[in-house]
Structure 1
Amino acid sequence: MSLYKKLDNEKFTIVIVGGGAGGLSLLNKLSTTINPDKQSVILIDARPTLMHLPSTLRLVASDTDDLTKKTLHPYGDYTFRNKLAGKGMFIHASVKEIKFGNVEKSGQVILNNGEALAYDILVLATGSTWPRPIAFPTESTNAIVEHIQARRAEFAAATDILLVGGGSVGIELSGELRDAFPSKPITIIHRDIHLLNAAYPDKFRIAIQKQLEDRGITVLTGDAITASDASDVSTSQVPQDGFITEQGKTLKPDLVVPTWGTRPNTSYLPSDFLSSSGHVKILPTFQLPSHPNVFAFGDIIDWNEQKSAAKAAYFHAPKVAKNILLYLNLREKEGRSASIDLLASKQSAKYNGTIEMMVVTNGKASGMGYFAILWGIIVGGWISSLLKSKNLMVSGISGLTGYTPV
């Protein structure tokens, strides 16, 4: 018998896979709306503690603001609040496979420890896989802390740092490193002709580059080194003669850090559920087309928009929560085995996307933001610092997790 059998066979079991900003926002929404006498909720995450993405790059760059203590919030009983207080379950495990039921029938989540967990409703919010500086271990909080300490030591020991990839990770890490090491040579190399990507206007991308260069960070755009060179992050693996870029420049860093883009964390799903980029195909109600009792949202969905924790938490999660409640109500009304079409319901919450917005930090005191409203609004360092850079929204973590650091 599985250790993780259904909490109560008479209840509908809702399983949420992924305890990031999106998954926790959904859990908090459900905690005020579901009926705990009729539904049970289980949260699964590969790590034992929340990794608050906005603060991770400052976390690995230095010990500024004691972020290890402030941002590593372990999951626990306090994660389940309101109607779910004392009635939810957290499981520290990763998902190896999902055995989907037929259409709307219950299925099973197969965990990496071999256990099988039955579900009536499944929600996938597994986010992205990140480049090595913030590719945190999963086995324990101690392992995460060791990873943080190792990255800090690596950056401190380096005399010349090359960041490979000029998206938001490369930009923000360069700013944190400049705060920590005011005179250390730092270079970003980026294959595109401007930083970030074409989802944002050139004016914004060029302004960010100038802001970095004004802080003494070298930015090389329209150039690259090989992926195999970029994957070597140990100082002992960097060639003594350095690298020759595709544009013929010679770079001689003693630390090379991959900061390229993310990939959707969907390796546990069959390929026919995914787009060519590995994203989950969904309906506007966030349901999987072939399995109406399975929802997916956040970074993993196949939707033409830039991925962000803010979108998952503030624009996806509320609609998913509404649709789950509607699904439950219709199933109760029509019968446990009834076929439910949320797309046909005028009450369902359908997602049509949202405006593109981004605030990119450049250390604690600077950064730049873009909001695709009106003519496209760009904000500079002072406003960016107020919105994000100064405190990285750390004060809001407890609202997500229910945990207060001692």
Structure 2
Amino acid sequence: MTATVVVVGGGYGGASAAKALDDVAEVVLVEPKEQFVHHVAALRGLVEPEFAERIFLPYDRLLKRGRVVRDRAVAADAGTVTLASGERIDADYLVLATGADYPFPAKFSDHDTAAAKAKLRAAHDELAGAASVLLLGAGPVGLELAGEIKAKWPDKAVTIVDPAPELLPRFPDEFRAEVRRQLDELGVELLLGTSVETPPATGGFTVETADGTKVTADLWFRCFGIVPATGYLTGELAAARRPDGRVEVTPELRLSGQERVFAIGDITDVPETKMARAAGQHAEVVAANIRVLIGGDGELTKYEAAPPAMALPLGPKGGASYTPETGLLDAATTSEIKGADMMIGNFATLLGLD
């Protein structure tokens, strides 16, 4: 009998794991969104409405043998997933890949593609009409959004506020200095080591930071606040859920205390930067381990947390990248990695669309 693998979540890691197991198992991919959303390119889609059309990709060619169920998991234990529709799916192996919620426009909560596109277009129109923008959060999202805005509209005033005293503290000085240099060149104002205690109002506003600096802007975006999506876990699986929402995993990416339940991506407690690339690497390990368990022979693969690495675009032609192997990479190289296409082609290939 063919083993049933239920993958909960069709993002970067879930889609990759489902495809990798399609030839050896009966794969059921549970995903509430109508189409795969390439969130890596969402900020480019905000400033370029035509580009936004390209970040939504259909699931219908992802699997050749398995099936994609458009529904939301409301409960999951070691052997069964219960959907919002009431359907229950029994699983021999379970892969949890539900990712994390994050403020719009970096991620969309809308399940319907037309609604997501309309929301993104409305935000674009509001942004286009704003003379000044406040971004709360100087992490990768805030910095990338600042770069996209200034590349599209150089005359807009963009201010970033963050309580951390330094940019990207986990990365080497040369990388951080290059990012800071390009932000200065773009005219982005950085207010570090301070915060805005009360969320700004909608429309034009003036806020005062904790250190007394006043910022006036027409529009603001929250660029922090990742929330792992694990509230649906029940029974034994809920025991692996930490107070921050992430789940404890073994080196083989099995859920702590479980033999046939695995976790991928943002929901894991793996100590590394949560990025699409890491989710894809998790998927490779999980798929390999499930194949070993199904076959009944071979050694399980252990995942090694990735060291800090980043490709940070600051608009289509700007940005900087860093890996321990290559060191600092300049704007031109970063543009080649992510620039014009924002890696859409890679995920179109994953989904069988090329």
Q: TM-score, normalised by structure 2?
A: 0.93
- 5 Å-filtered alignment, 1:4-403, equals 10-32=1-23, 34=24, 39-63=25-49, 66-76=50-60, 78-80=61-63, 85=64, 87-100=65-78, 107-196=79-168, 198-226=169-197, 228-229=198-199, 232=201, 234-235=202-203, 239=205, 242-270=206-234, 271-313=238-280, 315-330=281-296, 347-373=299-325, 377-403=327-353
Distance of 1:60 and 1:91 partners within structure 2: 29
Q: Secondary structure at the match of 1:403?
A: coil
1:184: how far off? 0.8
Q: Secondary structure at the match of 1:97?
A: strand
Which 4+ stretches in 1 moved above 3 angstroms?
none
Q: TM-score, normalised by structure 1?
A: 0.82
RMSD in angstroms over aligned alpha carbons? Answer: 1.8
In structure 2, the partner of 1:338 is: none
CA deviation map 1:297-327 (0-9, x unaligned):
11111111111111111x2122111100111
CA deviation map 1:25-70 (0-9, x unaligned):
22222234x1xxxx3111111211111122111011232xx22332
Equivalent residue letter for 2:56? L
1:261: how far off? 4.2
Q: Tell me the percent identity.
A: 30
Gap regions ≥5 residues in structure 1: 1-9, 101-106, 334-345
Distance of 2:126 and 2:150 partners within structure 1: 15
Equivalent residue letter for 2:105? P
Whether the 8 Å contact between 1:190 and 1:220 is mirrored in structure 2 is yes
Looking at CA atoms only, which structure, 1 or 2, has the larger radius of gyration? 1
Whether the 8 Å contact between 2:247 and 2:269 is mirrored in structure 1 is yes
CA deviation map 1:251-294 (0-9, x unaligned):
11121110114222222225531223221111111111222111
Equivalent residue letter for 2:15? L
Instruction: After superposing the two structures, state which structure 1 stretch, 138-147 or 320-329, moved more.
Output: 138-147
Whether the 8 Å contact between 1:48 and 1:138 is mirrored in structure 2 is no
Distance of 2:245 and 2:142 partners within structure 1: 23
Equivalent residue letter for 1:12? A
Equivalent residue letter for 1:96? V
Whether the 8 Å contact between 1:298 and 1:312 is mirrored in structure 2 is yes
Instruction: After superposing the two structures, state which structure 1 stretch, 91-100 or 266-275, moved more.
Output: 266-275
CA deviation map 1:124-176 (0-9, x unaligned):
11112111223313331111111111111121122210000011110111111
Distance of 1:109 and 1:224 partners within structure 2: 41
